[in-house]
Each structure stands twice: as C-alpha cells, then as structure tokens.
Chain A
Amino acid sequence: MAEIDDLHDSLIAAVADAADLPALEGVRVGALGKQGSVSALLKTLGGMTPEQRQTEGPRINGLREAVSAAIAARKAALEQAALDQRLASERIDLSLPAPDAPAGSVHPVSQVMDELAEIFADLGFSVATGPEIEDDWHNFTALNIPESHPARAMHDTFYFGDDTARDGRRMLLRTHTSPVQIRTMTSKAPPIRIIAPGRTYRSDSDATHTPMFHQVEGLVIDRGIHMGHLKWTLETFVRAFFERDDIVLRMRPSYFPFTEPSAEVDVGYTLDKGRRVIGGAMPDGWMEILGSGMVHPKVIAACGLDPDEWQGFAFGCGIDRLAMLKYGMDDLRAFFDGDLRWLRHYGFAALDVPTLSGGVSA
C-alpha cells in the first residue's frame, strides 16, 4: 500500500513546510478536515472486509495519528516562534526609574524616647506624662525650691500673665520634667517606677541651648532604695542606650534642691581620631550627661508620703543631648527647624522600632 506511505510523506512534508499558523491550518483541513485526504481514507474502512480492515485499519489510523502529531508539534513550534517574536518586540528599558514611593522618617527625639521607653520597660519603669503649662507649686515649691531660692532664678523661667494664675499659683512653662515626679507621687501609691519624657522650656538661646528642649525624668520610690540602686540604674540605662558594656560613669556630688544627696553624672569618653566616643574602660575624659540624687525628704513629704517609710531616687537627662551623643548631631537648633534634608539624614525609618530582641538602636 504505497499509496498510504506516499500520502504520509507528502503530508509530513507539507506540515514541515507550513510557514505560519494559517498555512498549517490549511494542511490540517486538507488532511484531517471533512473532505481531507486522510479523512477520505478513514471513510474507506467501512467498505472493507473484516480481514482487510484488520490490516488496513491500523495503517490508516497510524497515518492519522502521525499527521495529527506532526501538526500539533508544528503548531507548538510556530506559536513559540510567534511568542518569541512578540516578546522580542516588547522589550523595555528597565533601567528607567520606577515610580517614586515617598519615604518618611521619625524624628530623632521621638526615636530616642521610644528607645528609653523600651529600655526602662525592661527595668519595670512605666512612662508618665504631665502638663507643660505648669503652676509654680509643682514646678518649684513642691520640689523644695521656695519663692526666693536662687535656683528659681537660675531656671530662666517663662511665665504667663498674672491673670492666668490658678488657685493663687502662678502659671509657667515647666523648666524641667521634675513636676511629673510630684504629679506621680500625689496621684499614685508607691512603689513607683516611672520615666517621664517631654518638652521643657527655659529662656535661653545659643548654640547649645534652645528655649524649648526635651528632658526625661526618672523616679523610683520604694522602701530601702539608696544611691547604690541609683548608680546601678544609671549604669544599666546608659550601657543599654549606647549599647556598650564598657561605659564608665562618674558621679560627682552636686546640688539640686529636690534631691539630697545629689549627684551629677559624667560619662567617660575615649578619643578616636580626635572625636569623642562614649565608652571605653579607660576614659580619656568625662562628659556631663545627667543630674540625679535621692529624692529630698521634703519633696516626699510635700507629696503626702512619709519620708521615713518611703525613699527613692530621681534623675533628669536631656533627650536632645542623648540623641546628639549617640547619633552624632552637633547643632541643637537643627532639631527644631524641620529641614527635610536634616530629617532625611538623621531621622529614622518607620520600621526602625526599638525592641529588646532586635536591639534598641536603629
């Protein structure tokens, strides 16, 4: 049956020669369509004797399958070629810039406040707040700074007009976060462990002072708290904050009306190519970073607690200064300018959330 073999060869050749999908479809219709050559052969099977069918059937069906397979393969190849051609024409220059997504930032002061909250939470301190527009009782009198005390003059206080006085107390902008000590002790029963970060104000302006700045207050009131606890707390805090275990603190006796004994605290720095770097077991020098002391018995008593039963410590520290020491800004005034260039450089990404497991530093 050379006829079938010839048809097979000619159809396979025609499939291979089909240059595109329409041509291939023509070949398919010519072979496998209703009037197609292979279809015509299939129809002859009905007129055959069973013996003939037994021999011719497989051959004719074999022809049909071979042609179908060749068409399918050719079709896939042509489609692939067409796709390749299309894709080649669709090439784009991906070195062009993608759409901008604006990236914002968190201010260093906020970031440092979050770091402080995280560190002190681990030590069991909660975060307390108080008003910035304060009265002179909370800001001074209750803190053992009576009216004529020289320390009151040293605070460079911003006052509001006499007509704003409340209950005979003159209103002012708090000069430190220490009034939060008073507000906490008068509203909450000891034991107390708080930090109180926030805005503070003094009438002072130069390269290192701005009329508004940020402080954080710390307060612990409990039984049996002494200066050793203060020292440990400050060491633990400073080492966690700067993420160095070799930071040495130096406490110097000092004076604050609301603490007794009082101590100023210096942190040791080492010199690295002329730059001061916080830390180092053998400091090259000292930088003052905070004031502290044991809460004065008069302050405890002013808050309605018995100073023979309750004692504790307090400390106050400039947040802006902490940020500067840690992250290296050198001009305090830039903190409050809102310069986007500065914020982009010194600010922190939204996802830089201080955590204990990830580290408090961004």
Chain B
Amino acid sequence: MKFTLSWLKDHLDTDASPEAIAETLTRIGLEVEGVENPAEALKPFRIARVLTAAPHPQADKLQLLSVDAGSGPQQVVCGAPNARAGLVGVFGAPGAYVPGLDVTLKVASIRGVESRGMMCSSRELELGDDHSGIIELPEDAPIGAVYAEWAKLDDVVFDISVTPNRQDCMGVRGIARDLAAAGIGTLKPIAVPTVPAAFPCPVEIRTEDPEGCPAFHGRVIRGVRNGSSPDWMQRRLKAVGQRPISTIVDITNYLMIDQGRPSHAYDLAKLHGAVVARRARSGETVEVLNGRSYTLTPDMTVIADDVEVHDVAGIMGGAHSGVEDGTTDLLLEVAFFDPERIARTGQALGLTSDARSRFERGVDPAFLEDGLALLSALILEHCGGTASEVVRAGDAPVPQKRISYDPALAARLGGVSVPTDEQRAILERLGFAVEPDGERLTVIPPSWRRDVDGAADIVEEVVRMVGLDAVQSVPLTRDPGVAKPTATAEQLVERRVRRAAAARGLHEAVTWSFLSEAEADAFGGGAWTLANPISEDLKVMRPSLLPGLLSAARRNADRGAAQIRLFEVGRRYLADAERPTVGFVLGGDRTSRSWATGKAQGFDAFDAKAEAIALLGAAGAPVENLQLMGEASASYHPGRSATLRLGPKTILAEFGVLHPALAKTLDLPADMVAGEVFLDALPGRRDRGPSRTKPTFAPPALQAVTRDFAFLLPDGISADQLVRAIKGADKALITGARVFDLFTGHGVPKDHRSVAVEVTLQPSERSFDEAALAGVSDKVVAAAGKLGATLRG
C-alpha cells in the first residue's frame, strides 16, 4: 500500500518528519518497505522544447531532435514516435541517472550521430507504465525548469506492507488513525458532504444473494462529463502506482485508496432493467476490465442486469458496462461483499485486484452510507450532474462485539505493564469504545476492526502502541542441574549415520523431495503426485533418495568431478508414511591414478557393500547378524546387488551396481554404485535403563589360534553361507571365520569355486592339543560338507 505525505496530511495534522513517520509506522506494525521522494531522483531532469525534428540519416525509426532545455539547442537522437517539433517534454542531459533504465546518460553516438541526452517517457522516469512515447507537457510549461518541481512531485511516497488482518489500513485514513493513536499527530475530522437528491433512483437495485452481498447501496447520477481528472488527483494516483484513466474511474480509485472503500460506476446507458447482486449461473461468462473472459460458477456472486453479468462482485467490473468518455449517466455501486466469498472467488478465478484485496480482508460495514456520499460529492464536483436518491438494498453486517477485558492481561500475556487509564486512552484513540466494568473493561471494537474479537487482540493493540521495545526480557525457568539430553533415539541415529558417512569421505547433499514422473517411475513410481507442481521436474514425491542423488552426481560429472561420493539423510515418501532413509551414490574414481598404485580404479559393488554395512553399524544395527540376500529393487544390476536383512522379511539396506538400463535412462556416468539404508526398518533400541555399565569382560588368558581350510564350493552356494556354516560348527570354540582367498580355474572342478577360509579358534581352559584341533577340523569339514563343499586335497 502506497501513499504520499501530502495525502496523509489530508487526514493527519502533524509536523513529524517523513523519517519519524516511517519509524513509527514500522513500530506499530505497518512495516515500511520504502520511503522515497520521486523529486529527489528526478532532479536532473528539466522541461525542454523540441525545436526541430529531422529524420536520422542512417535509421528509419530514429529522429534527430534539436532540444532546448533552457540553455540553448542540443542535438538528441530519439526513437519516440510522438517526437516532433514544438513538443514540450522532459529532458535528461548527459550525467543524469535514468531510474527506469538503470543507466546514467552520457554523450553517445547513435548510428553515427552524436546524441547529447534523452527525451524521456513516463516509464523511463518511473512515473508510470507508459512507454508508447515521450512525455508530453502543456505548451506553456516553463522551459528549463526542474520538471519534478514544476510537476509537484516533491511529495514523499511511503510504501507499507499491510498485514492481511488490517483492512482499515488499506486506506490512507486508517493509516492516519493508527499514526494518531501512536502519538504522531491528530486525526482530522472527516467532512461527509450532504448530497442533494434531485430525483428518485430510476434503477431497481436488489440483492438476491444476501449471503454473498448483504448490502448494495446505489444511486444514479445524470448529466456528467467524463474527462480527465484534476491534476492533483492524477499526481497522487500516479505517485501511488495507479494509472489515471478517466475522471470517474479515477475518483473511484481515489476513494478506494483514501478510505479503503472500493466502489464501482456503471454506464447507465449500457444497463437493462434491474441491477441485481446474485449468484452466477453455472457456465455463465463475463469479460472484465483486464480484457479477459472468465467462466463463473454458482459459488460466485455477480452483479447483473436483466441481460448479462456486469461485474465479478467485489473483484473486477465488466468490460462492457464500464464508464467511457461519452458516458453521461452513471449508476454508482457501494456494496458490502462477504470476505470469504470474495477470497474463494478470487482464488478460483486466479483474479487479483485492488478491490479484492480490500473486500477479502473485510471492508468497514458501517461506511457504505458515508462512502457513497463522498463518492457522489466528488463526482458532482468534478463531473457535474445531478444525483438521485440513494437505494439501499440489504444491510451490511455490523458486528456488535463486546469484549470483556482484564487490563492485567497486558502484563500477563504481553509482558508489559500499562496502567488501565493509558490502555483505555490507546484503545479510544484507535476508535474502540471502552466501558468500565469493575476491575475489568468492556471493549467494543470499531466497525472497521473486523480482526479484533478477543482479549488477546486487545493486548496486541495496547502492546503495539506502547511499542514492543517496552517489553522486558524475562528468562524462562530453568530446571536445576545440568541440561538434560533431549534428542530422541531416531534423531541420534540420524546424527550418527550422517557423521559416519561424512567421516567415510561422503559429502552430504540435500536434494529436492520431489522429482519428475520419469525419475520416480524409474524407481518404482511415486505414491504422491502434486496437483499444482511448480514444474514437471518437481512433481512426484520421491520414492527413493537415489534419483535426486544421481542427478546431483550427473551434474557433478558434467562439471568434471573425478570422484563422486554423495549421500543424503532424508525421507522417502511412501503411500502410508514418510520413511527416514540414507541414500548414497559413488561414481568416478575410487582411487585416482597414482605414482604408487598405477591406474585409477573405479567403484564396485563391494564399495557399496562397505558403505551400507558401515552406515548400518553407525545406526546401531547388529551388523554381525545381518544376512546377505538377493532381490534388491529393479533399479540395480540383478547380479551385482544385494539386500542386507535381519530375518527374511526385514530389509535394512540394499546396494549394488545400478542397472545399466537405468543408468542409460537417467544419462548417468558409467559404473555408478549406490545404496540405501532404511532407517525405519532398524530394530528399536532396547531401553538401556539407568545403568551405564557394560557387560563384564576379561581378555582370555590363552592365545587364539587360526587354521586355514580350502573348500571346493559348488556354484549357487554363497561364500556367506559357507562362513555361516563354519561358524556354526562349534559355537564354543570358533570365534571367527573369514574368507581370505577365492580361486577358480586350473584344478578346480567346473561349476565350483575354491574358497579359502581362515578359522579362529579360542581355547578357554587349556591350550589345544592335536586331538582337540583335529576334532574341530572334522566338525568344520562336516558342516561345510552339508552345503556340498569338499575339502580341497
């Protein structure tokens, strides 16, 4: 919401400086986004006359102008179609900064001809949107004068951000009232004119939708002349970003900004029969002032006559019934529309307007009468004509709220003690009525404060007027002793996994939670698709962390990254829940080429396995009990991927080489490996109770011994199965078994592998003798034999 200092002073008697006003506005909750004096920026621009205009020798669309800005002719190259001899406009000499172009003018050569400055358009000077030609001033404008002074632009413009609850500050008067209440001046009384009614209103006005349009006041004015609004009004409108259109339209806009009161003027000649506020009929269409047509639904309120819809009520007027230059008779509409209805209609149509932004916040329901009087008087003053009697269809709902308020609440909730008398004075300055009620007050909010309906709201009014600076900091209570741990088990797991991954050389990325449909489909498809995505690339909630990480990997590879190690801790979004997950991708070189180790080496599935196991370990999973099984999802190479499970059903992780087809679809670098750890599948940690002691342990006195066994293992039996079988052969003595060699080829039968296992045996009471070792060996061989493995001779 923009307004100027002079406009504010129409309503507020104050000597405060613009800086003091701006500071106060922010302090009371009307956040200042800008304070600007347009005259400051436009100081270098002077009024100039075009003496001669001749074609540019090298360009059809350019002209050579001789321009006098008070100090003799200057040659200027100009492309404006309206540039001509005799035109009086605004000239910027070399050195002037043109705000709308963000350039500083200098002597330039344009198509081989020197140009010493510029004749400016409105847009170039940020005075409006018009860029169809250069500014044209009246013939008698003083040549050489500073344009901004002559045009009376020396009026500070404030731009404030009005929060959605403050409809009353969508008008200059409301802002003035708030400033007056904050002590920055005195609110001037408003003079509501009495408009003589010369004849009965000839148009029937009704509301058939009392819910959407509870009140519709209107009157006809006959015999108007619609031309250009007065300079002072145009200046103000332009200063606040409104484009002057015609006297009548400008007056409705002026009233809207001055009082926060939207209204509408219809050309009476274009109306047929009664003018009615009603629900739109299904499929009914209306072309509105922005030039577009909208199809309406019965949820929307419109203003229509016997023939057609003329207005999307409270949002935008129709294109066909608006006033024009030749309009002589008007119907004025000052209505009250239901804020929710306006908001819903605006959202459904995607249509915004200054009127909507006010009606949906809720205009003052008690200001229809005065609003119409002010509107009528302005039109009669500037356009002539005579007014009819006022027709009042329906009643605007003026809430009668009485809030019982305990003044101590200012301290109890607001944290600031304000004497009751002072609270009362603040509220009264803001237009609230206050009645004493014993220790309490009964507070009656003014009609324009729809947002106020409880004691907390009253506290806010008091606190913002005394200023939040007055609130003193008070420490929260603190339990005695050292602060207690607060992280949950899940949070601890995520933290440990994250730092474990970083410690292992992986970089944590944060990638989008949403993906393209194609990416989601490549990973089994997403369960959640946005109805209104911001782009097709960010549409489906990710079913896996891998697509986002792989895209990041691809971007890194495209930038020339030789080693890619990325991980992410985040959620995958399944139909039933959001599952905490760690994903990682490894690509490029695992080890760079080196003087010591030779060629660069890539990643393989075992690197992915190592990460998966390490991350599971960090997450507290019982790593030694994990079973390695197949059936990783289809995004992996079927022969080079696996799952890690606790029992057959609980999949804790999957990992491996990505499926070549997927790599191709996603345009990934070759040989990427990846994995995901499903934190949601981790077994819950048992509550460890109050004790922090670890299980008793003393290192065994006797040294462990190792024995090596080489087995011929039939294909189809995994090394893991063999190791598990060996470990199970004598659980008391065998404390470890580890594959240390693998061989196929000469001497190994077809469809077999030679697998060498180092078995660790731990004696307990006394050292092993030969017989004991032979006994264990036999058990190992027997256990392996059950899998079809034979000891290699």
Report whether chain A binds chain B: yes
A residues lining the B interface (CB < 8 Å): 96-97, 99-107, 109-110, 114, 117, 120-127, 129, 131-133, 146-151, 153-154, 158-162, 164, 171, 173, 193, 199, 201, 203-205, 211-212, 220, 224-233, 235-236, 250-255, 257, 260-264, 294, 296-298, 311, 335-341, 343-344, 347-351, 353
With the chains together, A235 CA to B468 CA distance in Å? 14
Q: Are B531 and A160 in contact (CB under 8 A)?
A: yes
Given contacts A228-B415, A350-B499, are A124 and B555 in contact (CB under 8 A)?
no
A123 touches B476 (CB 8 A): yes
B498 CB-CB contact with A under 8 Å: yes
The answer to the question of B309 belonging to the interface, with a C-beta cut-off of 8 Å to chain A, is no
Q: Are B564 and A351 in contact (CB under 8 A)?
A: no
Q: Is the CB of A205 within 8 A of B563?
A: no
Selected from B357, B565, B596, the residue in CB contact (under 8 A) with A102 is: B565
B500 cross-chain contacts in A, Cβ below 8 A: 350
Beyond A122-B483, A160-B530, A351-B503, whether A255 also contacts B456 by CB under 8 A is no
A257 / chain B contacts, CB cutoff of 8 Å? 165
A132, chain B: closest CB distance, angstroms: 6
Q: How many A-B residue pairs have CB under 8 A?
A: 272
CB distance from A33 to the nearest CB of B (A): 41
- Docked-complex contact B360 and A150, CB < 8 angstroms: yes
Tell me which of A211, A253, A339 has the highest count of chain B C-beta atoms within 10 A of its own C-beta. Answer: A253
Q: Which residues of B contact A103 (CB under 8 A)?
A: 505
Contact A349 B502 (CB under 8 A): yes
Query: Could you say which residues of chain B place their CB within 8 Å of the CB of A173?
Result: 513, 530
Interface contact A106-B555, CB-CB below 8 Å: no
- A353 cross-chain contacts in B, Cβ below 8 A: 499
User: In the assembly, what is the distance between CA of A109 and CA of B28, in Å?
Assistant: 34
| Contacts A154-B164, A337-B555 given; does A260 touch B594 at CB 8 Å | no
Contacts of B508 in A (CB 8 A): 104-107, 110, 343, 347
Residues on the B chain within 8 Å of A264, using CB: 31
Chain B residue contacts of A154, Cβ below 8 A: 164
The interface residues of chain B lying within 8 Å CB-to-CB of A212 are 512-514
CB atoms of A121 and B541 under 8 A apart: no
> Which 7 pairs from chain A and chain B are nearest by CB?
A338-B552, A102-B505, A253-B29, A255-B163, A228-B415, A261-B460, A338-B509
Q: How far is the CA of A201 from the CA of B514 in the complex (A)?
A: 10
Q: Which residues of B contact A132 (CB under 8 A)?
A: 513, 571, 573, 578
Known contacts A160-B531, A337-B555; is A201 also within 8 Å of B513 by CB? yes
- Cβ A104 vs Cβ B505 within 8 A: yes
Whether A339 and B479, one on each chain, are in contact in the complex, defined by CB atoms closer than 8 angstroms, is: no
Q: How far is the CB of B513 from chain A (nearest CB, A)?
A: 6
B488 CB-CB contact with A under 8 Å: yes
By a CB distance below 8 angstroms, the chain B residues around A260 are 454, 456-457, 459-460
Nearest CB to that of B566 among chain A residues? A338
Nearest to B580 among chain A residues (CB) is A129
Q: How far is the CA of A315 from the CA of B153 in the complex (A)?
A: 42
Q: A127-B487, A173-B530 are in contact. Are A229 and B474 (CB under 8 A)?
A: yes
B411, B486, B505, B510: the one within 8 Å of A121 (CB): B486
Q: Determine the chain B residues whose CB is within 8 A of the CB of A101 once the complex forms.
A: 505
Q: How far is the CA of A255 from the CA of B570 in the complex (A)?
A: 32
Instruction: Give the distance in Å from the alpha carbon of A308 to the alpha carbon of B594 in the complex.
Output: 72
- B552: which A residues are within 8 A, CB to CB? 337-339
Instruction: Report the minimum CB–CB distance from B227 to chain A (whole Å).
Output: 36
Q: Which residues of B contact A153 (CB under 8 A)?
A: 343, 346-347
Q: Report 21 cross-chain contacts, Cβ distance below 8 Å, ordered by A residue.
A: A99-B594, A102-B565, A104-B565, A107-B510, A132-B578, A133-B528, A148-B347, A150-B357, A151-B164, A159-B531, A160-B528, A220-B476, A227-B471, A229-B476, A251-B471, A261-B464, A294-B459, A339-B556, A340-B507, A340-B556, A348-B502
Instruction: Contact check, A161 vs B529: say whether CB atoms are below 8 A apart.
Output: yes
B339 at the interface (CB under 8 A from A): yes
A34 to nearest B CB, angstroms? Answer: 41
Q: How far is the CA of A348 from the CA of B509 in the complex (A)?
A: 12
B279 at the interface (CB under 8 A from A): no
**Least distance between A261 CB and chain B CB atoms (Å):** 4
Which B residues touch A220, using CB under 8 A? Answer: 476
Given contacts A150-B343, A159-B532, A338-B556, contact A231 B360 (CB under 8 A): no
Known A107-B510, A220-B476, A335-B510; judge A228-B471 contact (CB<8 A). Answer: yes
Interface residues in B567-611 (C-beta closer than 8 Å to A): 567, 569-571, 573, 578, 591-592, 594-597
CB distance from B706 to the nearest CB of A (A): 28
Majority-rule SS of B interface residues: mixed
Is there a chain A Cβ closer than 8 Å to B781's Cβ? no
CA A179 to CA B499, docked complex, whole Å = 29
**Complex formed: what's the CA distance from A298 to B530 in Å?**
30
Do B506 and A232 touch (CB < 8 A)? no
Cβ–Cβ < 8 Å partners of A233 in chain B = 476
**Is B198 an interface position by the 8 A CB rule?**
no
Q: In the docked arrangement, what's the CA distance between A147 and B563, Å?
A: 50
The contact of A148 among B344, B485, B556, by CB within 8 Å, is B344
Q: Which residues of B contact A235 (CB under 8 A)?
A: 473
**12 further interface pairs, Cβ-Cβ under 8 Å (given A126-B488, A253-B27, A262-B460):** A106-B508, A107-B508, A121-B487, A126-B486, A158-B534, A232-B473, A252-B26, A253-B464, A260-B457, A261-B459, A294-B413, A338-B510
A147 touches B569 (CB 8 A): no
Set A193, A261, A347: member contacting B414, Cβ < 8 A: A261
**Residue contact B594 to A97, C-beta cutoff 8 Å:** yes
Q: CB distance A232 to B475 under 8 Å? A: yes
Residues of chain B within 8 A (CB-CB) of A224 are 412
Question: Given that A104-B502, A340-B566, A343-B508 are contacting pairs, would A150 and B476 also be in contact in the complex, using a CB cutoff of 8 Å?
Answer: no
Report whether A148 and B339 are in contact in the complex, using a CB–CB cutoff of 8 Å: yes
- A211→B528 CA distance, assembly (Å): 16
Can you list, as one digit per residue, whether each of B158-183 has a CB less than 8 Å from chain A (1) or not (0)?
A: 00000111100000000000000000
Partner of B474, one of A129, A232, A262, A297: A232
Complexed CA–CA distance, A230 and B413 (Å): 10
In this assembly, does B750 line the interface, its C-beta being within 8 Å of a C-beta of chain A?
A: no
- Bound complex: CA A10 to CA B129 (Å): 118
A252-B31 contact in complex given A124-B483, A260-B454, C-beta closer than 8 Å: yes
Which chain B residues in 186-222 approach chain A with CB under 8 Å? none
| A205–B532 touching, CB < 8 Å | no
Q: How far is the CA of A328 from the CA of B456 in the complex (A)?
A: 39
Give CA–CA (A340, B592) in the complex, Å: 17
Residue of B with least CB distance to A122? B483
**A-facing residues in B434-483 (Cβ within 8 Å):** 454-457, 459-460, 463-464, 468-469, 471-476, 478-479, 483
B window 54-83: CB within 8 A of A: none
**B511, A336: Cβ atoms under 8 Å?**
yes
Complex contacts, A121 vs chain B, CB 8 Å = 483-487
Residues of A within 8 A of B506 (CB): 102, 104
Q: Is B148 an interface residue (CB 8 A)?
A: no
B17 CB to closest chain A CB (Å) equals 19
Q: What chain A residues lie within 8 Å of B541 (beta carbons)?
A: 133
* In the complex, residue of chain A having the shortest beta-carbon distance to the beta carbon of B356: A150
Cβ contact of B509, chosen from A193, A226, A343, cutoff 8 A? A343
Decide if A203 touches B474 in the complex (CB within 8 Å). no
Could you mark each residue 332-352 of chain B with 1 if its beta carbon is under 8 Å from any beta carbon of chain A, else 0?
A: 000000011101101100000
Chain A positions within 8 Å of B498 at CB level: 106, 110
Whether B413 lies near A311 (C-beta < 8 A) is: yes
B479 touches A124 (CB 8 A): yes
Taking the closest CB of chain A, its distance from the CB of B619, in whole angstroms, is 15
- B29 contacts A106, C-beta separation under 8 Å: no
Determine the distance from Cα of A131 to Cα of B457 in the docked complex, in whole angstroms. 31
Q: Is A254 a contact partner of B416 (Cβ separation < 8 A)?
A: no
Q: Is the CB of B483 within 8 A of A104?
A: no
Q: Are A117 and B528 also in contact (CB < 8 A) when A96-B595, A227-B468, A264-B31 are? A: no
In contact, A339 and B483 (Cβ under 8 angstroms) = no
Residues of A within 8 A of B564 (CB): 340
| Bound CA–CA A226/B569 (angstroms) | 37
Q: A114-B495, A226-B412 are in contact. Are A253 and B343 (CB under 8 A)?
A: no
A273 shortest CB reach to chain B, Å: 25
